[in-house]
Amino acid sequence: LVASTFNNQTVQKHFGCYTWITVSQSYTVEDLFRVMINELLAAAQMDVPQNLSNMRYRHLVEMLVHYLQPRRYMIVLDDVWDTNLWRSIDVALPNGTHGSRIMLTTRNKDIASLAFGVESHVHQVEPLNTNEAWDLFSRRAFFGGSDKSCPPELQIIARELVGKC
């Protein structure tokens, strides 16, 4: 759902700049900022500073604020595991009057329910029923086959796998 929103051309035109950042379970704030800067500047066809990998927290924050402040931006923070993330990065994400948005994905209900001091909306994704899960799995796993369905010799193990998901 977030990916289809992020990749929607109408949405992309609405925002002057946008980036998708995958947040690993073990991350450093500086590395997240570096990835953001690299992605944003590259998308804008601007030169990425050669010393980006050596920049310290304060300089990275200043650079992001300077770049984002005049723009309407959308940033997706994907697969967030840490409740402290927002407190660590919000200083670099200006909350201007341009209608910027930050989307966050997580599997952790505690993180999803935190408002992070801003207006938020939690969209909880419901699991697929067995038939929907099987159809999705079959379309993705066997898309290259002649009839795009699970081969008979894999039916048992494939259904067990889908049952675990």
pLDDT tens-digit profile of 117-151? Answer: 555 666 676 778 888 888 888 877 877 655 667 88
Q: Is the Cβ–Cβ distance between 116 and 106 less than 8 Å?
A: no
Here the tokens at position 77 are 């923070």
Instruction: Give just the sign of the alpha carbon dihedral 5, 46, 23, 111.
Output: negative
The pLDDT of residue 31 is: 94
For residue range 45-82, list pLDDT tens digits in order: 999 999 999 999 999 999 999 999 999 999 999 988 88
86/70: higher pLDDT? 70
Q: Model-level pTM?
A: 0.70
Q: Which is higher by pLDDT, 148 or 89? A: 89
Distance (Å, whole) CA 99 – CA 6 = 15
Ordered by where they begin, the domains of the chain are 2-113 (3.40.50.300), 130-164 (no CATH)
Q: Which residues contact 75 (CB under 8 A, 6 or more apart)?
A: 18, 19, 21, 36, 93, 101, 102, 103
DSSP string for 11-69 = HHHHSSEEEEEEPPSS--HHHHHHHHHHHHHHHTT-PPPTTGGG--HHHHHHHHHHHHT
